[in-house]
Every structure is written in C-alpha cells, then in structure tokens.
A and B are shown apart, each in its own frame.
Chain A
Amino acid sequence: MRDAFSRCHPVVNFTYFTAVLLFSMFFMHPVFLGISLAASMVYAIWLNGGRAIRFQFLYMLPMLLLVALINPAFNHEGMTILVYVNDNPITLESIVYGVASAVMFVSVVIWFSCYNAVMTSDKFIYLFGRVIPALSLILSMVLRFVPKFKAQARVISNAQKCIGRDVSNGNLWTRARNGVKILSILVTWALENAIETADSMRSRGYGLKGRTSFSHYRFGQRDKLLLTTLGLLIFCVLAGALLQENSIQYFPYIKINAATARSVLVYTAYFLLCMLPVGLNIWEEWTWRRLYSKL
C-alpha cells in the first residue's frame, strides 16, 4: 500500500480514527462538518483511488440528498417558514439541519471506509491483544477458521451435489433438509479436526504459564512524534469545544457564535488533525521526490 499512515504503529492509527470519528459524530458546526467531510473524501480517494470516487458519487451523494430532504419533510420545527406543503410548514431551519446531519452522516460513513482500509485485522488483533492477551489469540484463530470453514463447506456441498443431495437439488423441502445435512457434516468435520488442532497447540506448549504475545509492529521515533502531534491537536479541538467554539443552535432559530481569531485557531487545529494522514503522505512523497532527484 502506498499510504504512509497505514505503515505507522496501530496505536497511532487507532487514536486518530477514534478522535476523528467521535468529533465528526458530535460536532454539528458547519465549519467542522465541512472540514470533516472534505478531509474524509480526500483521504478515501488517496486510499482507494477510483473506487472511492465511484463510491462517493454513486452512493454517498444520493444518500446525502435523501437525508437532507427527509428531515424537512418530517421535521417542522423552526421559525422561518418558507412554504406550506399539504398544510405542513417547511422551515429553513429544518432544511439546514437536514443538510448538516446528512453531511455528518456521510462523512462518518466515509471515515469508516478509510478505517477499514487502514486498520487491518492484525492491527486490531494486536491492539486488543495488549489489553486482553487471550482475546488476541482467539480473534486470530477465528480469522483462521472462517476461510477454512468456507472452503470445507464448498467441498462438502460439491460432494453432496454429486450424490444428488445438495441445496441446489430437489424441491424446497428437500433443499432445506439437504442444507441442514451439509451443516451437520460441516460441524462433525470441524469438531473432529479440532482435536488435531488442539494436539498441535498443546504439543507447542499452549497452556504454559506466562504466555507472551508477539507482534511485528515497532513503535518508532516517527510514531512517537505523530502521537504527540495527535495529542496536541486533539487537546486544542477539545479545548475549543469547551469554549463553545463548535456549538450551534438550529431550533427554533439558527444561532452561531461569531468567528474570532480564537475560533480560527480551533478550526485550523481540527483541519490539521483531520488532514494528518494526507499531510503525512504529501510530506513523504515530497521527501522521496527530493531524494530521488538528487540521485
């Protein structure tokens, strides 16, 4: 993967996504929403390329419009009445609120798509393994068994098909019965084979006291730096939140704090926080080019 942020330590990844997701969910201030949406889109495109653009236009744009339209249709609060539809008032406030919550919703979805691309299963396992060591092994085993079961289910289904007893043979009732039978074979097979897995585990000393958990991640100098930066930025944004820099009132009328120098500072902090992975990528690209041109 060409994403530099994905190569950072899982703790950095996880801290970043937790912060960004929570902030995106709870800050309804238009500036914050705009920053979050823009940053999420840029990062998603960086990570997934054309696929992300297609996803955003095909699914996210219609969803955004839908959520933005649904709210004024059902929510009639607000002072500024624009028009009456079937005796129901459509208010400016509810339209604005609809757009805002649509943006919030869409940016959270896009953030999650980025999260999925960056936080692979082994990173997740590693993080939770540090909290609960036994859990990390269980998760890893589950991830091992799911593809194994799927493959075996296919083998069994093919074998049963060849004696005319698959879920694709016969009428509905027979199909259901065949399906249950395949499941029963799969379970028997799994239990039988688990005995050998247990042997393999015990013969490699599973159950000894003081089991450790190995990972190939290293917390380097850059991770330290990134985590500190993240901490500072999060602190700034939270401080801004305490000082009401992000608060907005939608009903019955829209009330928003005037932008001051201090609020610009908070906006900047939030922007930097959201753009951190993209910034890191740009910086890496730039150093690479510089080194390369010198050669």
Chain B
Amino acid sequence: MASLIFEALSFAYPQAQRRALNEVSLTIGNGEFAVLCGRSGCGKSTLLRHCKTVLTPHGRRKGRVLFGGVPLDKVSFRDQSEKIGFVLQNPDNQIVTDKVWHELAFGLESLGMDQKTIRLRVAEMASFFGIQKWFMKNVSELSGGQKQLLNLASIMAMQPELLILDEPTSQLDPIAASEFLETVKKINRELGTTVLLTEHRLEEAFPMADRVIVMEEGAVIADGEPSTVGDMLKEASHDLFCAMPAAMQIYAQVDGPAPCPLTVRDGRRFLSSLWPENPPAFRRIAVPEAEGNGSAAVEIKEAWFRYEKDGADVVKGLNLAIPEGCFYAIVGGNGTGKTTTIHLMSGILRPYRGKIRLFGKEIQKYRDNELFTNLLGVLPQNPQALFVKKTVRLDLLEMLSREKGSKEEKEKRILEAARQVDMEGLLERHPYDLSGGEQQRAALAKVLLLKPRILLMDEPTKGLDNAFKDKLAGILNRLKAGGTTIVMVSHDIEFCARYAGRCAMFFDGSVVTEDTPNRFFSGNSFYTTSANRMSRHLFENAVTVEDVITLCRQNQNQAANA
C-alpha cells in the first residue's frame, strides 16, 4: 500500500518566474526508506513541506498530494499531527520547552492525551532512544547531536506512520550525524515507519536507503534503488555525481564490473576486481610540492588554556607554526579544543601560559584597530551573526562606514569584494533570504573588506552541499594566491584532503601530527578519506577520489597498451 503519493505536483513561490516544483509524481510505499537528493535549491525542501498542510508554503500550486490514499487537505489537522512526523534542519530551533521530559511530551500534550498515556509513551521513547540518562536535564545542557535526537524522539512519541526529515544532520558533526542516521535506520527497520529523508551526507544515507530519488530544478530525474540510480547517473554522466558517495564516483569514472558499489567495503571489492591477479603497476600518485615555506604568519608556543579556574585544561601546551600564504586545516574530533584554538588566535580568548605571535609580534601587543583591520579576519561559524542591514550591499557598505574615501571609491571596493566571493548578482537581496552557502559568502565578503592577511574560519563547510563547497574552495584558492594565510577548523575530512595545503590533527588539546594532506591522510588508517580507505590495499598514497581515478586510468591505459 502506498503511504504517500504526489500526483503531478507543480508549485511556484509568489512572484517567482520559475517553478520550484515541476510535475513531480512519486509514490512512496509503506515502510520504505527513501532518500531524496539534489543540489541546494533544487526543490527538495519545498517538496517535503508539501507533505504536511501546516508547513506547506504559500504560492501557486497544481496537482495533489495523497496520504494513505486520501488527499492531504482532507486529512484532519489532528491526524496529520499524529501520523506525519517532520524533523527540520536546525536542532536548536525545533526545541520548544526547557526540559527534556517536557519536550518529549509536547506533541502528546497537544493531542490532549491523559497523564497515564503520556507517561507510558514518554517512557517508551526515552528507553528506545537511550535518553534516560539525560531525561531530567535542561535542554540547554545538551550537545547538538543530543538535541536532534531529542527532536526525533519527541516526534516518534506521537507514533507517526510517516517520518520526514529535512537535512537533519547538516548542523551535526560526523559522529553525531552517523549516530542520528543509525537511529533513523533503526526506526525504519524495527518499527516499520516510512522514512523520507533529504541528506548531504550521502556516504552514509545511501547504503541505508531502499530507494533514492534525485531531483534537479524541481523535477525528478532519477528514481530507483541506490545502485540503479548510480548506473542511471553514470550513463547520463551527470555532474550531480560529485555529491555521491566516493565509491559511486570512482565507479562512474572507471571502467569496471557492475553493480555500482555504495559502501567503502563494496568499493574495495570493486577496485580489487580490477586487478584480480597482479597488483597494479602504478601505485603512487605524483604529489605537488609542499606549500608555504615562508616565515610563520601565526605562531603558537606552549599555549595553555582553560575556561574556568578550577576547570580542566582545554588547550594543553600547544605548539603550532602556520607558514605565511598557506591554507592550513585543523581536523580532529569534538571537544578536542579546535574551536578554542581559533578563538585564541583571534584574541577573543587569551592563554594563561604561552605565547601567540602574529607575524612575529605578540597578539596582545596589537591594538584592537590594528588587529582587526588589514591583519586578522574571522569568519564566524554562523554567518547570521554578522548581518546588520536590509540588503547585502548596505551591509557591505556598513563595513566601510568608518573609513574615509568617496562614495564611488567605496562602491568600487564593495563590487570587488562581491566579485571575490561570486556574489555580484545577489547584492540587493536581504541577507536572511540567501541560502546557507550564499549567506556564508556574503559574510566572507564583509570580512574581506577589512583586507585580512590571515583568515580564520570555524567549520566553513558545515551544512553546505558539494557544489557550494567547490565554490568556497575556489574563492579560498584565489585568496591564497593573493597571499592570504587561511586557517580553518573542520570536521570535513574530504574537503581538507582535497583543498588544504597542510593538515594538522588535534587531539586532547594539542596537535598530534601535521603534514601535507596527502602524507597526512595516507599515513592515517581510520581518520582518513573514504577514497583512501577504499584503495589503500592497492595504492600507496591515493587520498582523494580524483587520485584513485587517475591511478586506475593510468594502470588501465598501461594494460591496454601492453
């Protein structure tokens, strides 16, 4: 039986020329686990919001949505609240009350259930999700991952038949994200709840899915089992492939036997099957010279830091030298002190022991004015913390308000900053109306107007899809070519492997190891890219998908010539 049916659904936002959804027809079966993917702005979220009347956006609409065989607008608000669960992107904004137990009960209170039923349901959910330990806590004490798990649990307490998740893991770190997705999988497998999920993190979502739906420009372009979709996209040689799991990307570019591999294990088998007898001839990839041999732009010597006098040390005897003109990435798990280190470098926090020097001069000796103009630029994790005006243009102009100079001159500088971040077309938009990636670029333009020689960034790729990541990397590369030193803290191993000049691994308050990405990741065996994990039994130093593909082709060409 079908759980959810879209019948030729078209939709356009008010005053928009283009349709956000174009004749979408889909049938999601009962108990199915469907993953919906596509670029940012392809209409995924709009489609999901059509699954629940209270969330449906305003605009022109054609076609209809059926839930359990009944048109959605005929299904009562009560039934929709109970049977269709919806988890949104931001873990923080969805939480309504101050206590974990109250949040779990919120939906059940709305449905008007009595004490006894609520008590039972809440107990069940807390046990299923392993929430008992923090059941009585304040929600403000929870981590991001716990918050999102709480959101999921408080929806599951209503026992929905259909669970819709709109990029639920985009704000989580990789470990919390895979834990969350595992829980979703458990719900699907053990309770039989139908799941419709949109995700950027396809590496993990794909193997779980029964079905993958690919959207582009408001229309469905591929639909089927994950490996079938892989084949479909391969035939169309679609550029969406850059968003697919590493194994699928390699499969698409290298001639080899079907079926399309999804996981690292499958990818390993796939690569092994290419050279069944002898190991491949070329095992190493040529690596570009290590960059940034100049003097240190940022130097940290034996820095120690803790937040409270009696608290534990967060940064412990950290030594770090970041060469000028380098793109330096700091990776590592949660709570190892990475973000604290960025705050130390920006002077927001001060170490209680040790020294931090910027271009050889101690950071305390700079005056505020010197520090934050023409020297240090800090891109906050949440770009919204920077926006003050109605349009991007006014916002950028505000940054120059304290400087002398004619209007034309300032206008010119704004345009230049906008060009640096590829935003010329978006200058008249309200900053809050931009998508996540665009907001980030607008914030970056603001920071760039101060002409920083060192750019510090905290998790710049959080919540971005691959197309936006590539764009960001392009901008950063241009800045680097202009001589800016870039320091980035990230969980995004794939991004660091591909674009960073040097990588450092943070653990327990200091740097454990530091090297060029290639040597860094080929030296690690767990904390490394999936392309590396897939190919390390064949190739010595293939780190990115491109590395693997290049080596495979080299070997295959040689075999063909021989």
Contacts and interface: CB of A to CB of B under 8 A. Distances in A.
B81 A203 contact: yes
A88 interface: no
B139 A144 contact: yes
A159 B386 contact: yes
B110 interface: yes
Given A158-B343, A163-B399, A214-B115, A141 B97 contact: yes
B55 A199 contact: yes
Contacts of A151: 140
Contact of B96 (A162, A193, A201, A212): A201
Contacts of A156: 385
Given A193-B93, A204-B106, A164 B378 contact: no
Interface string B378-391: 10111011111000
B174 to A, nearest CB: 22
B52 interface: yes
Interface majority SS on B: helix, strand, loop or mixed? helix
A164 B368 contact: yes
Contact of A204 (B99, B138, B154, B450): B154
Interface residues of B, number: 67
B380 A155 contact: yes
Interface string B338-352: 000001001010000
Contact of B446 (A121, A163, A215): A163
Given A164-B369, A212-B114, A137 B107 contact: no
B558 interface: no
B295 to A, nearest CB: 24
A201 B348 CA distance: 37
Contacts of B115: 212, 214-215
Interface in A197-233: 197, 199-216
Interface string B315-346: 00000000000000000000000000001001
Given A148-B92, A155-B385, A208-B111, A162 B97 contact: no
B86 interface: yes
A214 B109 contact: yes
Max chain A Cβ within 10 angstroms of own Cβ: one of B82, B96, B107: B96
Interface string B394-437: 00000100000000000000000000000000000000100000
B114 to A, nearest CB: 7
Max chain A Cβ within 10 angstroms of own Cβ: one of B82, B90, B115, B450: B115
Interface in B118-148: 118-119, 122, 138-140
A151 B106 CA distance: 24
Max chain B Cβ within 10 angstroms of own Cβ: one of A162, A181, A215: A162
B387 A185 contact: yes
A3 interface: no
Contacts of B73: none
A249 interface: no
A204 B158 contact: yes
Contacts of B382: 155, 159
Contact of B110 (A188, A205, A216): A205
Interface majority SS on A: helix, strand, loop or mixed? helix
A256 interface: no
B102 A214 contact: yes
B281 interface: no
A207 B110 contact: yes
A200 B87 CA distance: 8
Contact of A188 (B96, B371, B432): B432
Given A161-B348, A181-B388, A213-B109, A144 B399 contact: no
Contacts of A181: 388
A203 B86 contact: yes
A150 B291 CA distance: 42
B27 interface: no
Contact of A162 (B101, B111, B114, B348): B348
Contacts of B343: 158
B63 to A, nearest CB: 22
B112 A208 contact: yes
B98 interface: yes
A149 B216 CA distance: 37
Contacts of B77: 205, 207-208
Given A160-B385, A162-B376, A163-B372, A203 B55 contact: yes
7 contacts: A155-B380, A155-B381, A189-B384, A199-B86, A200-B96, A209-B112, A214-B102
5 A-B pairs closest in CB distance: A205-B81, A162-B378, A205-B110, A210-B112, A204-B107
Given A144-B95, A188-B384, 8 more contacts: A155-B382, A159-B380, A160-B385, A161-B348, A162-B346, A196-B88, A200-B151, A201-B96
